Each structure stands twice: as structure tokens, then as C-alpha cells.
Structure 1
């Protein structure tokens, strides 16, 4: 592959997608030029200010407004506030020449071929030869867009279809045009994966490409089954959300968020554009969908859709649900199905899916009708939309947030047995499936020697899934590389003398089994000549914190010796990670809260996925960080003091982060909040985190020096306590903090300032850990703390008391 560097990108079009694509490039440190059209009329505000259409502020109004709207939107498209400074705005008429400085030009204008051609004609005037030029189109064929363009333009042109929001949805579909240089395709596949953190999927230039073709078909198929079975909106969203490893928005809520008009447009375009599709009629709108569309109830953009937000007689916000029979809004329905009740104890999604699919009740019937139809449809799309089956799974999972794709789900249910049931239900799969089964191949995927293989239809053999060779996927190692395990953790050999400890409790909460796993892993690494340890997993969350159930039980029974022992064990385990004779690296992603944050901070380094959300949130359950987190923030604050700095300001930032349970919303914010040390690094692609953490271990193992306990932590004593006490009292009087919040803050204040010391003093880690444990223990005896813990454990929501 030719050495190509992307230093500056031009994004043409600043709408919802364009502005957010621009900001995601800024997230990774790339300079961006964001351009859009010039307004044709002045606003009233501009007229009042005496501005004209020739003023720069007016000419760039559309692009500037769009960028600011994006920056302020939720969820935020930026890792940190500072990255937006990398975006320079302008307009097509005055600033198109700026693309001559860019290495990549991305077109994101309105979905009209005539307008895109006008933009491309302008691009050719200023674009330097060899510059990448791509389109974010979601439906216009590539061959039409390059018509009339130069040879160099056509050679460097490709489709790059991002999914909204670009920061969070991992899919990037790469769609070559007829004359695209293969080297360009290879570069985009690699760059999207390594630098943008995307699941890059190579697509054919077919209507809606892969993800929308399958995803929209799946939704339209489900809509038909909903009408057949008379299910409610609430029932369907209960059946098609997290229980299947899919987003909470499930089916109808997703439609409201995306916009029913958008889904209808895609479905209509697919119906018109797919005359040869054997299931073309599935894209016809059902009676209910057509009626909701005709009423203009398109979802959030119209303030009502399948759901409607309103207020009751007391002014309290309520969410109403559309009755699909009467077309009137009423209370939300909560689907109750025997299958869902019976599956509650099945934590493992790969075990839960086949259980639900085969359950004999209304839910099971719904799953069989919808799953079998989608399985059949996907099998028939090869080789039309993709030559390889794994691309369909990759695209749907990354684009629609599914944890497990169609072919992998079929695998879990048993390929041959499910194929027979599909035929009985009138859903005959493609002939190649029968040929595969007849040849003795029992699955679409398999793992061997740490590698993941897929069934390749043309060769009738298994091949390694491309792009996974330099990634470490623990599921591929489960059959052959397990070193040790218990109920809550598994220790893997991930090669080159490095171990990986995986958690697999609910939300990866840290309990006795995981603490045993950490200690066992470190002991094995130290005594069996391993080079080091990675602590990481492939679950949605790294760890949502400590397991509170046992603590709650002991505290309620006033078994204070047991509570003290639990805290001490947790602290000792964290210190074990800190002072081991081998390097320990945390590979984080998703939530890393409370104990998960404390563990990460006590490792030698963190290899953080960009989407790691880390924080010390113990005040939410009436406590302070008790696993070394309070001590560690005091230590890091002490290390950050420099000559001339106002020490209290630095300490106050750390104090407030804990006292307000602030959570970093990206790895960038983790750095700003002090959770990541100077040798910690960020990985953009989630599936590369463990591999990158392994490389960090190997880097540290060369000449590794075992840490020793710190005894030079500067604390402020009574002077610092007095300053913070004033702030706590002020928050209490201003009703920003309850009486119990204030009590917790004062305990935190005492520990972080080193206790009752007459002057600033240097203390040891052990000293601060003792203060931390004492404060934690005392708070466990408070009734309001137990009420907060109880609310989290039994109601799943925080309590402010």
C-alpha cells in the first residue's frame, strides 16, 4: 500500500452528517475545512445589525450555525471541547480553493445527483491530483457520480458511507466506483479501521449497500408480523431491545429517533430500485405504517410518532404510546411473555438467543417469524450485496448496534436444525446453505488456534475473517487458551508471554470471584515467568463498579468486622495490581465506574478505547471511593503541583470530581480529569484495545522496575479542610447538596486533605488508605447510605436523600 498521510480533510456540506463527520475527524487530531452554501437572504437579526449579503459573517452563517448546533448536540459528537478548534469554516463560493491544501475531500451535500455533480465540478477546479475524493451518499450509485470527471478523479473516487452519529456508530461502508484504484480501497479500509475506529465493510454498489438493505428489511418484516399477531408498540420494543443484544430503542423508538419519513423513503427507494428482489414486496408499507406516515407522526422531529411526550394534570412528564388499532395515544404497555421471564437468569446472550427462538409462546412465535425471514433473506443476498457472509454480520452489527449478526445468530440456533424449521415455516434458505450442510459443514463460523474462520461459499471451505489477524478476540481463544477460570473471571494466554484476565459477571461488577481472579492472575504471572498481564474484556462495559449486594447485607446486619475485611481485601487487591513485579495494563471500554475506575488507575497504564466512560461515582450510593480511589486522586493531585501553581485549585478539581460523581465521557476527558497517567494511551477501534494493551505490556516488560509504596504525598491538612468546608456548607445552604451529600463530602474532604494535620505534610499511601477505609466504614453505618444502596440494588436507580 502506498504511503499516504491524512493531515487535512475537507468536508463539503455542514448538515447533520457533514458537521458531525468533520468533528469526528477533529476528534482524532486531523485539521478540517468545513464548507457549505452561501445564504440568499438576510435574517431579521442581520438586517437589524446593518449587515449585507457580502459580509463574511452572513456568507458563513449556515456553516457556522450548523457547526455550533452539532457541538452543542447530545450525545456530544466531540471527545473534548478543544477539538472543535481544528475545524475551519467557509463557503463554496469564497473558499473552495481551500481544498487544494487537503488530502481528502468528503462530499456530504443533499441526496440529489444534479447537485452533487455541480459540487464535483467545482472540486475538480481546485483539487490537487492524487487527493482522495469520496461521497457519503446512502443511495446514489457511484458510477453516476463520476460521470464526466477526469481520469485522476475517477481513480481516487469512492463511496464512504458513515452512519449517524459518526462518533458512536462504528460502521463505515466502503463502496468502490467502477474505476476506483484498488489501492485507494485498501487505504480507506485500513484508515477507517485504525484511525477512525470504524468497522470498515467493503460493499458492492447495490441499493442501500449492506447495512440499510438488511436493517430496513428486518424492520419492515417485523412491522408485517406485528400486524399479523396484533402486538402493541410496547410489546415489540420489549421483545426487540436489549434482550436480543440490541439497542434500548429497539424497533419503534428507533423509528421515532431516526424519523419515520426517513425509513419510509429508504423503503420506497428499495422497492423501486429492486425489481429482481424475490422479497421486494416486503418493502411495501404496511397499513399501520402508511397511516402513521400520512398523519405526519414521524417521530421526535414532529413531537410525536409511535411514542408521544406530554404532561399529566400535575405537570409531570409522561410518555404515551400509540395504540396501533385505534390510532390514539394511551399509557405505555409493558409486554409480559413467558419466554422473557424464563430467560431472565440467562446472562450469556449467546445462550439466551437460541432459548428465546425455540420457546413455545407468543414471544417465541414472533422471534421465529421474524428471524427465519431475515435468515432466508440474508442467505439470498449473497453474492448480490456481498461475496462473503461475514460482511453482512459486520455491517448490521456496526450500523444498527446489534451485538450478534444474522448468520452468527443462525449458528447459535444450529444451522441444519434451523434450516429445516425454516422450510417447514415456508422460509426456504438459499441453495448454498443446503450444499454447505450436505458437505458436512455445521456452522457459518468457527474458531481454531485463536483465529476466526467463516464459510467461503465459492470454495466451499473455511477462510480466516480478513482484518482480524492483528486483533485479539477472546472468543477465538476460549476453546484452547484458557489458563485458569472461576465463576466470575477467565485467564487467557494471549501469546508472547502475556496473560489476559477477562471479567464475566453481571455488568462486570467486581466481587469476590473477580478479586480472586486478579490476585491469581498476578501470582501466576509473577511465579510462572509470564511477561505481564492485561485486564480487559469484550463485554459492553469494562466494569460498572463493585458488587454492592454483599456489602449491603453485612452493613444491614451490622457485621462491621466483615465490612472492614471486605474493604481491606479490595484495597489490598488494588495495591497488588500497583506493586506487582510484572506490568499490568487495563484495557478499558464502556463504563469503568467506581471500583472499575480504581482498578484501572492502579494498573501501570490504561489502554483506553476512546469510548470509555470513567468516574468515581460512589457518592451515588452514599459512600466515598474505598478501593484506593480517594487515595489515588490525592496522590495524583500531589504529583501535579508545580512551582507557582495554586495547589488548592488542583485539589479542588479532584475533590469536586468525586463529590459530584463526575464521569469522563471519553478517553480525552479521562486524561483531563487525571484518570490516565502519562504512559496511558487511547485506541480508536474497540476490537483493537486488547491487542494494543498487550503491546503496551510488552513495551513495559523490557526493563520493568517494580514500583514501591509512595511516602511523599503532599496533603494540606486543616487549612485545606477549612477551605473545602466553606464550599460544602455553601452548597448545602444553596440546596445543591442534601444533608447526607454534605456528610459524604466532609468525609471525602477529611481523607483527601490527610486528616487532622496542623500544616501541609507529606504522607504515605498506607496512611491515606487507612483514612479512606475508616471513612468508608463509617458511612456504611448511615441509614441514608443504606437507602441509596438499596435503591440501586432493588430499583436500579439512584436515590437522592
Structure 2
């Protein structure tokens, strides 16, 4: 995960939430970073920066992808250590939003930076032209704005703003580094207040809050209408404000009203909110405070409450009726046509926000693609503003605005009866400001299955999986079921894919573009089988999964898996049975079967044993590797990043990590092709396992956990079944245990557990609540 030669070391100045988070993401990418801040304690001059790193190591969700990454952060202070920036290729300023302080810092930076080093500000409120006032020509040409979104590890958007004097080649180097190495999707924004995402996002939130107050609807109703039906995260608007902090709202409002022209539509909707001011004064700043529009009343047994917008008093939260029919499934035309407050509220938000976005191009960005990308990645919208307009129809939006006597943006008039996006000759195109359609161009080296699907059909498919030709003799195997769950159809298609690839292609990549690679076996199907006691069908699925995964492992061509998001249970096991893995950095991998009263049944036990016995960090002999796998699997441990997955053995040291999600398929394809020449399938492993004595030792450890209240009675039963498999069952230390022996032990233990009513209760609870049952 090393970056381009142009950026070998980074300095971040300002160790607040954003600056520290930026430094952590640089370290996550394997790049050394110098983190500096002011001196507050003369006896501990680096306390501010060092304290920020220590805090991040305890924060959840974690800014660091692994504790090892934190070691790449060197801390210091501006007074003693600024000369060290001479070793840095990129200096990121992330101090408070005060122009005088930034100017003072830039003067000091200019005295020490290398002439070829880039300098950028993480500002979101101060124009670039003001930032570089009084600086030398060399400084101005090497300066840009790099606006990260919080938290920097998880938010994929990076807005880059440049000026007329910015060195084009330098900007391209920083953009490329941010893309490939830091994993950011770079959007070029114009030097205007709020840039793209915050300009539109702040307007959207303000419009939604105003409409809720004006229409007298509840916060629950508002979030039900303005959340999922619009493709907005399930928090809705009020839940989102609670999440980011209510105290941020007046700050954003002041920032925009003071910098936007007087005739900007935002000026007309930015208005005082006495309730919000009172909430902030009383410490109700959202989730980071005592609560916000929603709170948990601890005096009432953690009862969820919501604020009454008319009185400002809290009351028990109500479950607002979900938006039904087509309107609730993303049909925005149906949503804004709903009778009563629901339709009025939906249109109050969409009419204002979408027309505002349309009026801002080309002021804030050169084209609509940049605007849509910024809103999807910066605010987690499922669709960008122009994609939302297409769902209603540009002509219909324009017609309704005109009927209400509101201005119709020129871009809507330009579109007329046309859509902003279309597919032509297998290419996705967008409507340009010249009135013509242009191809949506991906960054160099980006390969997406969604693009391939526009111009081709699957080689073969069924209800749960599909096979796609992705070029150069490589085929992609895609899971397509709900949550990419694994079932008999997936296993059947693996069986059909192997001879096809063997006959006509070079390699196979297991990949999809869902939110999660796979959450594992289809539990709903499993519960149905359990309820009708279809034990034969369950055993058939277990045996079929083992057969399919081993067929992939021993196929006469390379198999590379490329996960992103959750790869759990059977999703993890397919990684374990692949020749190599190219994982997105944000992959969450684990064998979680014990949490639902089962054990890994598709070869995960043997594959994990094989990996840990080869780990040079463990002592020799059968017991250390068995104990390590037992500890990881019995506790249903999930790695919270690809880097952490290497520490747990879910990934090999040689497996690749891709920082940018959109580059994952291309990287996986390249890894597969690199394995083709001279490829030979691996030899089946053979094991010497500790036998009955090892099993007793593992069970004693579980009894210790039970005595401390860390494991339940049924945890002991499940762990005992796992211990039997990992120790080799009836085999002794002198016996060789084959891979086939371990698979048979897995099947036997799995089928014993699946018949137990306590396992069935765990499976049902997980399906209904998404949380494990501790029985």
C-alpha cells in the first residue's frame, strides 16, 4: 500500500478531529506522517498531537485500520518541529477556520518547506484566493484546497479546489495520491462558498428543518419521508443532524450567509431557530451530547424519546408509518404526489433542493457528474440531485416550479423533456451544458461491473449468482441474492463456472459491487429448513458448499476473491479457499458461525489451521495453531479492516489491499492475471492435530470464560463441537489428519448443532433482530 514516488511522507498541522483523522488515513495507507499542533503544556510540548493519537486508538469506529498504522504517525509541535516539514512531500493545514491564524502558519511553513512540496488547506469556508494572499509565487503555485469529509477514514469524498496559479502537474500528483493511495474519490470543485457537497447539503438540511416546523409534522414523520424513500441514509434529516452535531448547524449557517451573495436562495431560507439555540445551550447537541432531536431517557430505562417541535418538550418516540407503495420504493413522482402533509413535505424538500442544485452548475462544478458524485459520497445519498431529478422528470420539476411562480433554473430548461443521464451504445452518458450528451469517463485504471453490464450479458446466471466476462481472459463470479447470501444456487453456479473458465478463459475473480461481499449463508432458508426438520437438505447444502469451495481451491486456473464490506461466515470461507485475495481496505472479515450456535462448515476450520501453522510468530507443534484458531472462531471475531484481517489470519501476508473501492476489480483482475503463467493448484494439506488431550485443554479454557461470566452455557456446547473438529476428533497426535477428514468432522459437528433447539433459537433471533442470542 505504498503511494506514488511523489508522496513518500506527509505532514498534517492541526491535531483536531479532522487533522488527526487525515493523519490516521495517511498512516492507514502505509505512508509515514508527521502530526503537529500547538504547545499547550510546557512540560509536555507534544501533548496535543500525542493525545490525539492516543484518543484515536480508543475511538470507535476506529480512525486507524490497525494499531500498527498508528506507529507511522510521528507527533510533534509547531514551535520545535516545523523544520521537519522539509522532509515532507505534502503539508496539510487543518487548523481552526481563522484566516489570520492560517496566514501566520503559512509564513512559517514557507520558511521550511521544500520548493517542490505541496501545501493544502482542509478549509471548507475560506476562499483559496484569500488563503494565499501575501505569499510568494512559489508557494501560491504549490497551494490547493483539499477538503476531506469527517471521518476521513470512512468518507470517500475529497473535494479539491485550485486557483489560477496552481501548478497543474502538482495538483494531478496530489489528486492521484489521494485516489490510489488514500482511497478517495476526487471531485474538482470551484472556489465558491461551501464548495459542492456542503453548499447543497446545508441547503437541503435547512429546507427539511424549515418544512417540518412549518407543516407541524413530527421528527419521526419527517425522517420516514425524507429518508429511505428519497435514497437518504435511514437516519433521515433529524437523525443526521443528531449524528453530525446540532451545534454545527448555526456555524454552517453563519459561514454560508456571510459568504454567499445576498440573492442566493440559501439566504432566503436561513432563519433563526430558537428551539435549536435552546437545545445547544442546554447541552442537547446530538449523539455527542445529552441527546438531540432524539434521546435515550436513562431515567426511564433508556426509553427512546423525540422532541416535540412545537413545544420543545421530549415525549416517547413513536414509530411513524412507513411510506407505502411505489412512493416508499423510490418513485419520487409518486412521493411528491402523496396527499396531505407527506407529499407536501417531500416536495418542500425536493423542489427546493433539486432546483437549487440545478441552478449551481457551472458555478460550483463543471458538470452534473461532479455534483452527483459529491452528494453521494459526501452525504451518503443513494442518488445525486440530477439522478433524483431524472426520477421525477426534469420537465415535470420545471412545470411545477413555474406553476408555483418560482424560478426555473436554466439547466432544467435546457434538459426539457430529456433526462440528465442516458445509456447509449453501452455507455452511460450525461447531459452537458452545451446541450449534448457526453460519456461518463472513469478515472484511468477503474473497472466497474456496472459499466460492463451496460454492454454485455452474463455468460451464465441463476437466481443467486452470475458470471461475467471482464476482458483479457478473466471472468467475474458475482453473488446476486439478497445481502449476497450464499445458497445452493451459488454452489450450483460454481460447479458450472469451473469447466467454462477452464475451457475458454484464464482466471476467475469472485467479486460484486453490493454494499457487502457476502453476509454468509442464507439464514432465512436455513431457518425454514430447520422448522420443517429437513435435515437431509441442510446436510446436502453443507456438503455441496464444501465440494464447491474445494473445487474452486483446486481448479486448474487462478481464483482471486475481491471482498468489500462484510465477508462473514461462508463469505469469509470463500476467501480462505481462494488462491489469493485482493481486498478493499474497508473489508470486515470473520467466521461468525459460533454466534448463531454453529461452526464453520465450508472448510473454514482447516484453512485457518493451515494458515496459522505456517505463521512464523507461533511456536512449533500442533497446539499453538489450534489454540489460535479456536480463540478466533469460538469468539466469532470479525476483523474491522483488511489490515486487521491479516493479523487474524483471514488474509495472508501476500494478499493485496486496495484503498479505493472503485479500483478493486481492476486490481483483482491484475492479481489473477499475474498468477496465470505456470499456475498449478495447491497440494492438499495434511495435519497433525493434538487429539483428545488438546480438546480437553480447549474446553478447560471455555470453562474458565464461563466461570467469569464471559461465556454462556450453550457457548460451551458450541465451543466443544469446534474443539472436537480442530483437535482432530478421534485422531491422535501420531495420526495424519487429511483435509477430507477435517471436512467430515465439520459436517458432523455442524449437523449435531443444527438439530439443537438452542441453535435454532439463535438463528431465529439473528434473523428477527440482527443481534446474537446469549443463551
Q: Identify the TM-score tier after normalising by the shorter chain.
A: over 0.9
Partner of residue 267 from structure 1, selected from 250, 253, 257:
253
Residue range with higher mean Cα deviation, 207-216 or 726-735: 726-735
The aligned counterpart of 1:87 is 73
The aligned counterpart of 1:46 is none
The aligned counterpart of 2:429 is 453
Residue range with higher mean Cα deviation, 635-644 or 543-552: 635-644
Could you say what secondary structure the match of 1:463 adopts? strand
**Within 2, Cα distance between the matches of 1:417 and 1:341?**
21
The aligned counterpart of 2:687 is 713
Alignment of 1:75 with 2:61, yes or no, is yes
The aligned counterpart of 2:500 is 524
CA, structure 1 residues 552+304, in 2 after alignment: closer, same or farther (shift >3 Å)?
Answer: closer
The aligned counterpart of 2:296 is 309
**Within 1, Cα distance between the matches of 2:729 and 2:332?**
53
Alignment of 1:277 with 2:253, yes or no, is no
Could you say what secondary structure the match of 1:72 adopts? coil
**Within 1, Cα distance between the matches of 2:511 and 2:553?**
16
Contact in 2 for aligned 1:253/1:306 (Cα 8 Å): yes
Following superposition, the deviation at residue 468 of structure 1 comes to 3.7
Following superposition, the deviation at residue 409 of structure 1 comes to 2.2
Q: Deviations over 1:649-671 (max 9, x none)?
A: 33222111111111000000111
Alignment of 1:146 with 2:122, yes or no, is no
**Within 1, Cα distance between the matches of 2:744 and 2:332?**
47
**Within 2, Cα distance between the matches of 1:798 and 1:236?**
31
TM-score (norm 2): 0.95
Contact in 1 for aligned 2:88/2:117 (Cα 8 Å): yes
Could you say what secondary structure the match of 2:366 adopts? coil
Contact in 1 for aligned 2:156/2:185 (Cα 8 Å): yes
The aligned counterpart of 2:719 is 745
CA, structure 1 residues 739+352, in 2 after alignment: closer, same or farther (shift >3 Å)?
Answer: farther
Alignment of 1:190 with 2:191, yes or no, is no
**Within 2, Cα distance between the matches of 1:687 and 1:750?**
42
**Within 2, Cα distance between the matches of 1:489 and 1:212?**
39
Which aligned pairs between 1:174-189 and structure 2 lie closer than 5 A?
A: 174-189=160-175
The aligned counterpart of 1:229 is 215
Contact in 1 for aligned 2:21/2:151 (Cα 8 Å): yes
**Within 1, Cα distance between the matches of 2:488 and 2:332?**
29
Following superposition, the deviation at residue 712 of structure 1 comes to 1.6
Following superposition, the deviation at residue 794 of structure 1 comes to 2.7
**Within 2, Cα distance between the matches of 1:22 and 1:267?**
28
CA, structure 1 residues 426+293, in 2 after alignment: closer, same or farther (shift >3 Å)?
Answer: farther
The aligned counterpart of 2:191 is 205
Q: Deviations over 1:115-144 (max 9, x none)?
A: 011111111111111111111111111111
Residue range with higher mean Cα deviation, 615-624 or 182-191: 182-191
Residue range with higher mean Cα deviation, 93-102 or 422-431: 422-431
The aligned counterpart of 1:481 is 456
Partner of residue 251 from structure 1, selected from 237, 242, 254:
237
Following superposition, the deviation at residue 674 of structure 1 comes to 0.9
Alignment of 1:657 with 2:639, yes or no, is no
**Within 1, Cα distance between the matches of 2:552 and 2:507?**
11
Contact in 2 for aligned 1:357/1:367 (Cα 8 Å): yes
Partner of residue 493 from structure 1, selected from 436, 453, 469:
469
Could you say what secondary structure the match of 1:761 adopts? coil
Which aligned pairs between 1:295-444 and structure 2 lie closer than 5 A?
A: 297-313=284-300, 316-337=301-322, 339-340=323-324, 356=335, 362-424=341-403, 429-437=408-416, 442-444=418-420
Q: Deviations over 1:487-546 (max 9, x none)?
A: 32232222222222222322111123333333333332223x122222211111111111
**Within 1, Cα distance between the matches of 2:759 and 2:141?**
65
**Within 2, Cα distance between the matches of 1:426 and 1:775?**
71
Residue range with higher mean Cα deviation, 324-333 or 163-172: 324-333
CA, structure 1 residues 10+3, in 2 after alignment: closer, same or farther (shift >3 Å)?
Answer: closer
The aligned counterpart of 1:48 is none
Q: How many residues align?
A: 771
Following superposition, the deviation at residue 629 of structure 1 comes to 1.4
CA, structure 1 residues 661+340, in 2 after alignment: closer, same or farther (shift >3 Å)?
Answer: farther
Contact in 2 for aligned 1:638/1:715 (Cα 8 Å): no
Q: Deviations over 1:576-609 (max 9, x none)?
A: 2212222222111111111111112212221110
Following superposition, the deviation at residue 174 of structure 1 comes to 0.4
The aligned counterpart of 1:621 is 596
The aligned counterpart of 1:794 is 768
Residue range with higher mean Cα deviation, 219-228 or 663-672: 219-228
Residue range with higher mean Cα deviation, 420-429 or 533-542: 420-429
Alignment of 1:28 with 2:43, yes or no, is no
Could you say what secondary structure the match of 2:130 adopts? helix
Contact in 1 for aligned 2:217/2:341 (Cα 8 Å): no
Contact in 1 for aligned 2:200/2:357 (Cα 8 Å): yes
Alignment of 1:726 with 2:700, yes or no, is yes
Could you say what secondary structure the match of 1:260 adopts? coil
Which aligned pairs between 1:108-123 and structure 2 lie closer than 5 A?
A: 108-123=94-109
The aligned counterpart of 1:782 is 756
Contact in 2 for aligned 1:482/1:490 (Cα 8 Å): no
Q: Which runs of 5+ in 2 are unaligned?
A: none
CA, structure 1 residues 371+733, in 2 after alignment: closer, same or farther (shift >3 Å)?
Answer: same
CA, structure 1 residues 543+355, in 2 after alignment: closer, same or farther (shift >3 Å)?
Answer: farther
Partner of residue 544 from structure 1, selected from 506, 515, 519:
519
Contact in 1 for aligned 2:25/2:63 (Cα 8 Å): yes
Could you say what secondary structure the match of 2:57 adopts? helix
Following superposition, the deviation at residue 427 of structure 1 comes to 5.4
**Within 2, Cα distance between the matches of 1:783 and 1:377?**
57
Following superposition, the deviation at residue 563 of structure 1 comes to 1.6
RMSD: 2.3
CA, structure 1 residues 287+145, in 2 after alignment: closer, same or farther (shift >3 Å)?
Answer: same
Contact in 2 for aligned 1:638/1:713 (Cα 8 Å): no
Residue range with higher mean Cα deviation, 130-139 or 599-608: 599-608
CA, structure 1 residues 457+800, in 2 after alignment: closer, same or farther (shift >3 Å)?
Answer: same
Alignment of 1:576 with 2:551, yes or no, is yes
CA, structure 1 residues 496+361, in 2 after alignment: closer, same or farther (shift >3 Å)?
Answer: farther
Contact in 1 for aligned 2:239/2:293 (Cα 8 Å): yes
Contact in 2 for aligned 1:541/1:591 (Cα 8 Å): yes
Following superposition, the deviation at residue 445 of structure 1 comes to 2.2
**Within 2, Cα distance between the matches of 1:642 and 1:87?**
25
Contact in 1 for aligned 2:257/2:266 (Cα 8 Å): no
Contact in 2 for aligned 1:683/1:689 (Cα 8 Å): yes
Q: Deviations over 1:455-476 (max 9, x none)?
A: 2213x22223344453122222
CA, structure 1 residues 746+326, in 2 after alignment: closer, same or farther (shift >3 Å)?
Answer: same
CA, structure 1 residues 367+343, in 2 after alignment: closer, same or farther (shift >3 Å)?
Answer: closer
Which aligned pairs between 1:681-696 and structure 2 lie closer than 5 A?
A: 681-696=656-671
Residue range with higher mean Cα deviation, 297-306 or 636-645: 636-645
Contact in 1 for aligned 2:427/2:454 (Cα 8 Å): no
**Within 2, Cα distance between the matches of 1:343 and 1:554?**
35
Contact in 1 for aligned 2:146/2:158 (Cα 8 Å): yes
Could you say what secondary structure the match of 1:25 adopts? helix
The aligned counterpart of 1:38 is 39
CA, structure 1 residues 509+360, in 2 after alignment: closer, same or farther (shift >3 Å)?
Answer: farther
The aligned counterpart of 1:45 is none
Which aligned pairs between 1:577-616 and structure 2 lie closer than 5 A?
A: 577-616=552-591
Q: Deviations over 1:699-720 (max 9, x none)?
A: 2223322345x14233221232
Residue range with higher mean Cα deviation, 27-36 or 627-636: 627-636
**Within 1, Cα distance between the matches of 2:446 and 2:609?**
36
Residue range with higher mean Cα deviation, 463-472 or 229-238: 463-472
Q: Deviations over 1:547-585 (max 9, x none)?
A: 012222222322222221111112112112212222222
